Structure 1
Amino acid sequence: MAQPDDVLDDDNYPAYTMGRAAEIVGASQDFLRRLDEAKLIIPFRSAGGHRRYSRYQLRLAARAREMVDHGTALEAACRIIILEDQLEEALQQNRNHQRRQSGAA
């Protein structure tokens, strides 16, 4: 079982209920459901089937809300965020690969 300190430091731990997540993000619960439908955020489910969100997911939701507030369509905002995250991951992998290559030379 996870220790309390591990859970507190884990950005992926599903600590927030839908109501609390919506409050933190400054959006409606329906907005969070729509992010799920758009496949940006797939919430964890409690044993009772209730949606639970992590801090990482809340950051994604906040990015989407900000973009939508500035006039971007929800589906477009979700796609942009997904692509930005994929790009950042690819860039990080490239940096790691370059470090390994320079260390092997």
Structure 2
Amino acid sequence: MTGSTRSTPADRLDDDDYPAYTMGRAAEMIGATPAFLRALGEAKLIVPLRSDGGHRRYSRYQLRIAARARELVDAGTPVDAACRIIVLEDQLEEAQRLNAELQAGSGEAKPNAQA
């Protein structure tokens, strides 16, 4: 086996999906409480991985989602509505990405409204 095919713990530092943060640290990083993170988990917005001991572990990607939820909640949006907004924002972003790919792949110019 060559050294280039082995994964080291340091390789995970750039992985947005690696569950590197404990609940306490994750809550601290986004300025929320562990109860807020549990509420996001109950709403299925983010589903933390569990350590061998059963403790919740969060990735950087999940923390970005949780931080967005916190922004919405801080602005007065109920948690369940904030979760739905985030899901819809994600779906819209994905649809826009797919649309851009389809337009780029078709090689067709956009119709000119003045033609």
SS at match of 2:107: helix
RMSD: 1.5
Q: CA deviation at 1:100?
A: 1.6
For residues 96 and 16 of structure 1, the distance between their equivalents in structure 2, rounded to whole angstroms, comes to 34
- Compare relative contact order (CA 8 Å, sep 6+) and give the higher one, 1 or 2: 1
Question: 1:52 & 1:65 partners in 2: Cα distance?
Answer: 18
Partners of 1:68 and 1:87 in 2: CA distance: 21
- Match in the other structure for 2:48: 43
Corresponding letter in the other structure for 2:37: L
Code of the residue aligned with 2:58 in structure 1: it is Y
1:52 to 1:92, Cα distance in 2 relative to 1, 3 A: same
Among 66, 84, 87, the alignment partner of 1:61 is 66
Question: Which structure would you say has the larger Rg?
Answer: 2
The one of 2, 5, 26 aligned to 2:7: 2
Gaps of 5+ in 1: none
* Counterpart residue identity of residue 31, structure 1: F
Q: 1:93 to 1:5 in 2, by over 3 A?
A: farther
Match of 2:79, as an amino acid?
L
- Unaligned runs of 5+ residues in structure 2 are 1-5, 109-115
Task: Give the match's secondary structure for 1:57.
Answer: helix
Q: Distance in 2 between matches of 1:48 and 1:97?
A: 45
| Cα distance in structure 2, aligned partners of 1:20 and 1:32 | 11
How far is the alpha carbon of 1:57 from its aligned partner?
Answer: 0.5
Q: 1:5, CA displacement in angstroms?
A: 4.7
